[in-house]
A = this chain, B = another copy of it.
């Protein structure tokens, strides 16, 4: 029910296709983030209109509210939220590790206090698998330990080794559910796949060890975790390059939590197939818009009487219908429609960029595309 096919390459850039129980995803792919079962400010049909083929759901948030058991009783996350297309869920680990002062980690897992009501919960490798099985996402992620940046080599090595042990436990639990040994979990998607996560911080030998150990366990795909956490951009690029190089060419590669439009292009150039990031949605709600000529802050006074669209090259509803002057007014007036219209544009920009990337790879003109894209993106960050 799950497969990845590599259709073409252009340098290290890859054109591929993920087949999942809820449909096909063309890669390189960008996944809008739907933390609480909703990509903020978007209805599901708006998302379809942007060209999104897969979205991400957050296990931590959905476990706490409305609860994975409730979602399972509704038939799973796809059914509950009315999104019939592919969904990837994270493991909840990143959110739990971000609860500084509200969580305690040991080999067994992480004990944490809910940000909603202070109630105490336990997230273990096994329970992270169970929750995602009940959510019924098409791609589930293993629970890994997430380190703050910077971290020493020793800390990073120990943490990476624990993540490998957790990955093995996650895979065992996943296999038990898949093979019918654990029907009590109440899984809702028999075709669910599971991705491992490579850790190791900025230490390439640790990354290599992690990649080898994770591939030895064996997953349907592999993610690179622990980047986009504050490290310099050239360090991130180097780790992505060198890690992608040692990962299986026959499996999808997912760079977690990245990034800017430039990051997407640069990391596709280094062999990445999948991305997720809150940047296009969060920035939209703050009035920062991505355009083919750089970023603009719609609240800037220069747009008060600007009758042009956000981006004349964009075909989204917002650009087809409204001027910068109107969008600025909606933003300053605090109208929630500002968030809706801006998000529709930013996601369209991201998804269009992925489409252009895929086209360039298929035409074997990706390097030319990349140079031109980075030139216009850096030409002006108009209002920064």
Mark A residues whose CB is within 8 Å of B: 36-38, 40-45, 61, 65-66, 70, 73-74, 80-82, 304-305, 307, 317, 321-323, 325-326, 328-330, 332-333, 335-337, 339-341
Closest B residue, CB atoms, query A328: B66
Are the CB atoms of A329 and B82 closer together than 8 Å?
no
Instruction: Give the residue of B41, B70, B82, B322 whose beta carbon is less than 8 angstroms from that of A321.
Output: B82
A81-B326, A326-B80, A329-B66 known; A337+B41 contact, CB < 8 A: yes
Are the CB atoms of A65 and B305 closer together than 8 Å?
no
A40-B335, A80-B326, A333-B65 known; A45+B340 contact, CB < 8 A: no
Are the CB atoms of A42 and B325 closer together than 8 Å?
no
Alpha-carbon distance A43/B337, docked complex (angstroms): 7
Residues of chain B within 8 A (CB-CB) of A74 are: 305, 307, 323, 325-326
| Minimal beta-carbon separation of A66 from chain B (angstroms) | 5
| Minimal beta-carbon separation of A327 from chain B (angstroms) | 10
| Minimal beta-carbon separation of A67 from chain B (angstroms) | 9
Are the CB atoms of A70 and B340 closer together than 8 Å?
no
Alpha-carbon distance A70/B336, docked complex (angstroms): 22
Are the CB atoms of A43 and B340 closer together than 8 Å?
yes
Residues of chain B within 8 A (CB-CB) of A38 are: 330, 333, 335, 337
